[in-house]
Amino acid sequence: DIQMTQSPSSLSASVGDRVTITCRASQSIASYLNWYQQKPGKAPKLLISAASRLQSGVPSRFSGSGSGTDVALTISSLQPEDFATYYCQQTYSVPYTFGQGTKLEIK
């Protein structure tokens, strides 16, 4: 199985901050990397697919970059509604695997 390691596991930031969450795969996954946002009691929401393709309706302050083994999610200017847990997921090979999550909290 491909292991996905996110960092940091948790992050405190303020509204307006720029934050970056990274995800490292145990082997190359090309650009088969997706990012999800999950709020308490809700299903994950797809933000970015194929490492950098922003889903329709997702604000442009979210962006994805990288390929191979190292990818990143950047939020350019945090908004109050962005405080949530973020997960990366590889769909390069079965079994699809997720990172352990990054909890983004208000400072």
Partner 1 sequence: QVQLQESGPGLVKPSETLSLTCTVSGGSISSDYWNWIRQSPGKGLEWIGYLYYSGSTNYNPSLKSRVTISLDSSKKHFSLKVRSVTAADTAVYYCARSRAPYGMDVWGQGTTVTVSS
- 43 sits near partner 1 (criterion: CB under 8 A): yes
Q: What is the DSSP letter of 86?
A: E
Near partner 1 by CB under 8 A: residue from 37, 97, 102, 104: 97
Instruction: Work out whether 37 is an interface residue with partner 1 (CB under 8 A).
Output: no
Give 40-73 as a 3 state SS string: CCCCCEEEEECCCEECCCCCCCEEEEEECCEEEE
Q: Which of 22, 37, 49, 102 binds partner 1 (CB under 8 A)?
A: 49
Indicate whether 7 belongs to the interface with partner 1 (CB under 8 A): no
